[in-house]
Structure 1
Amino acid sequence: MSTAATEQPEGEDPPFHHTLRELPARVWIVSLGILVNRCGNFLPVFIVLYLTSSQGYSPGLAGLVLGAAGVGNVLGNAVGGYLADRLGRRWTIVLSGLTSAVLTALVPALSTLLLNIVVVGLVGVASQIYRPAASALLVDAVTTNQQRVAAFAVFRFAMNIGAAVGGFVGGWLATNSYTELFLGNAAACLLFGVLGLLLLRDVPPAGSGEGREESAGSAAPVEGVSYRQALADRRLRRFLVMTVIAEFVYIQSTVGLPLHVTSSGLTASDLGLLIGLNGALVLLFELPVAGLVVKRRAVYVLAVGNLFTGIGLALTGFATNMVLLCATVVLWSLGEMMYSSVANAHLGGMSPPHMVGRYQGLYGAAFTFGTGVGPLVGGAVYAFNEWALWATVGVAGLISAQLCLPSRRAPALPKQPQGPAGAAKPSASEAADTAGTADEEARPGPP
């Protein structure tokens, strides 16, 4: 696509459904791979039930194993971000799929608690390594913000379909044999790796020009690039803090909401209906919501999404019947859809080409850290006082929304590798990004 096409005025962008149809094949291949992977992603859901009901471990000991997987998820994203920039997108995805398959297949043969902690922790690492590479590949494949939003919307749609199907398939396999369950998980990981090996190729980012040696996705590493340089970007640090807080808020839908449903005298089937409503809303409306918000400024879409999520979940404390609870679910589901539609795409737009993998890796680490710590903190606050939890959720929602808005300070961009003459040269991406941030900060408000 030409430079002129990427810089056309907002009003000249094609309709969102046209953008979806014209996405590069790599977007659909990666989305197919994540669909397969998520359909077989049984271990995180069933590992505690397997350890307590089949292996005889106490819930506390099973929690240690699950905690090891959570720590592994954070490390896996950080490792995956490094490998995506260093090794290349394709081989990072292949490595993640094959390693996850081998480790998951070993789980039914483990005989001690220590082995379970070590192997499941390693599964947590290996199973997340692909995420930054897959996200970076989507960023590489497109040129405009509308295409990025469309690409990640398709990716998330495939992920949500896979999670829904995987829940049913996993439940059926678990009733027959946990060995079959984990072998099925391993088979899905293996197929994901094979799809990456056969169908994906590392290429320079779209619009980067022919023969760009330092292009993201190239197997050749860029010397001098590190996570320290990525974290020199103040906008990225702000985005990561926002992500941790936003995920703490959202994960209360799996902690505070179930506890509130029980305390209100409702049943487990009522909780299932509420969770099912959220899943149905996301599957049916996330793509249309993405089409509606794609031409709005991403920082304001993120802010409103976080605000809706925080307010919706905070209002759970006031809802004591299914009608009111369903209304709160609709509100925080809308916030989830708005936030999720643009978060990865917005981050992709601010990432220097040679550090897309590291930016996505840090985002994945912040995401998994927030979802891992959120249940612990939320459960502890709820045990102290239920209203303290809902007040905390409301305040955290406001803070995460504020962090989405542009800082008044000029951003500090990560340094580029030294050019042939020894001088640091800013990339076109960084120059455009700096100009875009200054433009955002100069405008009085959303469109």
Structure 2
Amino acid sequence: MSTGTSDRSRADEPRFRDALRGLPRRVWVISLGNLILQAGSFLPVFIVLYLTQRGQSGAASGLVLGAAGLGRVLGNVVGGHLTDFIGRRRAILLSVVATSGLTAVVPFLGALPTIIAVVGLIGVVSQVYRPAMAAVLVDAVTSTQQRLAAFGVLRFAQNIGSTLGGVLGGVVATVSYTGLFLIEAGALLLFGVIVAVLLRDAPEPESASGTAETPAEAAVGYRQMLTDRVLVRFLLMTVFSMFAYTQTAVGLPLHVDEVGLSERDFGLLMGLNGLLVVLLELPITSVVSRFRPEYVLAFANLLVCTGLALTGVATEMVVLAATVMIWTFGEMAYSSIVQAHLASLTPPGMVGRYQGIYGAAYAVGTGAGPVIGGAVYAAAPWALWTLVGVMGLLGAQLSLGLRRPEATAAGTTAVDATAVETAAAEAKAAEAKAGEAKAGEATAGEPAS
């Protein structure tokens, strides 16, 4: 399709503000539930402090964090599969109920191997709801602007919840770690009640042919996902982007300490980041919605990594605050559009699996960032900031290829010419042949008249 047609289709879209006002109830239900969930999410933040209080070593805490990280990677993949096969609502309920029960028993566990196993399992089941929530949002909206608005609202709720959770968790932890984990279990169950009462699954998505996706199509499509070249680019971009971004929690505090600033100064820098995100991310989403998403992602990658790379030459608080503002604006542009754009690249019937494998790539990047980043910084700080800059260039280059061939004047996108679509067609053909064979056998078995 021509660029002119694409531009006209984009012009026909409602404005971001109108799309925000017109979001369906399902988006607000999920966003409210996510706010509550994030406000009560304490285990990932406080598990190390809890283990230290119990006399466990740093190495033991590392094992627990490693198990949780591996669990998160697996949990997103499993969650994407369950989302597409048992439905969004059931996947969310399964996730929050199982996570609630496991979280509630953590304070009563004794042996370290048991703690490692349970926290690792929590890492798995706690991620199942994430692709399911994303799929609910994708199901609920019809236009690109609405999709951006829906994910923008979800992110806004998540940011508010995380901010409240940090304050609440710090207060409760000074009183009782047992209470901390029990409150998290309660927040999970409250989210489950909201979903159970207020949310119903949308009708099953249809395939490009206009019929519901068959089990054979779904199974073959899932096996063939990684042959989708656009998806692979997206996953690599995600790993590089998240590796770089996690240096805000690894390289940045190490640098702050090295230049003689205090923990209070680091807290102020992160507070600046949080304030900007809460106040400006939705307006930023409105701005970036006017541009092609692959360009926005490329620019955002460059902005995040430029801001972080400049950290290495900043030695005063004012200059560091300026670098934080640079990478925060990149963070907001990236986060406002990334999942919504992935939804536009997803073949019919595979929203959960595409969002799930994105979540796995996200977990890989955020898991590798602290380990590799810390080791590189210990060897040579300049090498880490150089590596971050390289990651930005790679992420930007990959982002520019995140576009499907456009197929119709209505603005819909065609699935890339990959085995995802081919395998689905082959599955249908195989089913048709099997049906013909059965019909032939039935005819052959009928008595002659």
User: Fold conserved (TM > 0.5)?
Assistant: yes
Q: Which residue identity does 1:243 align to in structure 2?
A: T
Preserved contact between residue 160 and residue 278 of structure 2 (Cα < 8 Å): yes
Deviation at 1:37, TM superposition (A): 0.7
Deviation at 1:227, TM superposition (A): 3.2
Q: Tell me the distance in 2 between the aligned counterparts of 1:299 and 1:374.
A: 24
Is 1:66 the counterpart of 2:65? The answer is yes
**2:29 corresponds to:** 29
**1:114 corresponds to:** 113
Deviation at 1:226, TM superposition (A): 4.5
Deviation at 1:349, TM superposition (A): 0.3
Q: Which residue identity does 1:25 align to in structure 2?
A: R
Deviation at 1:205, TM superposition (A): 6.5
Closer, same or farther: CA 318–29 of 1 in aligned 2, 3 Å? same
Residue 376 of structure 1: which of 358, 371, 374 is its match? 371
Preserved contact between residue 131 and residue 352 of structure 2 (Cα < 8 Å): yes
**2:231 corresponds to:** 236
Q: Which residue identity does 1:173 align to in structure 2?
A: V
**1:271 corresponds to:** 266
Preserved contact between residue 86 and residue 221 of structure 1 (Cα < 8 Å): no
What is the DSSP-based 3-state SS (H/G/I as helix, E as strand, rest coil) of the residue aligned with 1:128? coil
Deviation at 1:208, TM superposition (A): 8.0
Correspondence list, 1:10-29, <5 A: 10-29=10-29
Closer, same or farther: CA 402–7 of 1 in aligned 2, 3 Å? closer
Q: Tell me the distance in 2 between the aligned counterparts of 1:226 and 1:206.
A: 14
Q: Tell me the distance in 1 between the aligned counterparts of 2:228 and 2:237.
A: 14
**2:139 corresponds to:** 140
What is the DSSP-based 3-state SS (H/G/I as helix, E as strand, rest coil) of the residue aligned with 2:255? helix
Identify the range of structure 1 (271-280 vs 194-203) with the bigger mean alpha-carbon deviation: 194-203
Preserved contact between residue 90 and residue 196 of structure 1 (Cα < 8 Å): yes
What is the DSSP-based 3-state SS (H/G/I as helix, E as strand, rest coil) of the residue aligned with 2:260? coil
Is 1:281 the counterpart of 2:276? The answer is yes
Preserved contact between residue 141 and residue 205 of structure 1 (Cα < 8 Å): no
Is 1:417 the counterpart of 2:403? The answer is no
Q: TM-score, normalised by structure 1?
A: 0.88
Deviation at 1:419, TM superposition (A): 8.1
Closer, same or farther: CA 140–205 of 1 in aligned 2, 3 Å? farther
**2:389 corresponds to:** 394
Preserved contact between residue 230 and residue 404 of structure 2 (Cα < 8 Å): no
Q: Tell me the distance in 2 between the aligned counterparts of 1:141 and 1:404.
A: 26
**2:96 corresponds to:** 97
Identify the range of structure 1 (63-72 vs 106-115) with the bigger mean alpha-carbon deviation: 63-72
**1:441 corresponds to:** none
Correspondence list, 1:106-255, <5 A: 106-204=105-203, 212-214=211-213, 223-255=218-250
Bigger Rg over Cα: 2
Q: Tell me the distance in 2 between the aligned counterparts of 1:239 and 1:372.
A: 18
Closer, same or farther: CA 10–207 of 1 in aligned 2, 3 Å? farther
Deviation at 1:12, TM superposition (A): 3.5
Residue 385 of structure 1: which of 376, 380, 386 is its match? 380
Q: Tell me the distance in 2 between the aligned counterparts of 1:409 and 1:420.
A: 23
Point out where structure 1 has 5 or more consecutive residues left out of the alignment. 1-5, 426-447
Deviation at 1:223, TM superposition (A): 4.4
**2:361 corresponds to:** 366
What is the DSSP-based 3-state SS (H/G/I as helix, E as strand, rest coil) of the residue aligned with 1:252? helix
Is 1:258 the counterpart of 2:257? The answer is no
Q: Which of structure 1's runs of 4+ aligned residues deviate more than 6 A?
A: 205-209, 407-410
Task: Kindly provide the CA deviation profile for residues 397-442 of structure 1, in whole angstroms up to 9, marking residues without a partner as x.
Answer: 11111110127998443135348972899xxxxxxxxxxxxxxxxx
Preserved contact between residue 273 and residue 324 of structure 2 (Cα < 8 Å): yes
Q: Tell me the distance in 2 between the aligned counterparts of 1:27 and 1:206.
A: 18
How many residues align? The count is 415
RMSD: 2.4
**1:440 corresponds to:** none
Residue 327 of structure 1: which of 322, 329, 348 is its match? 322
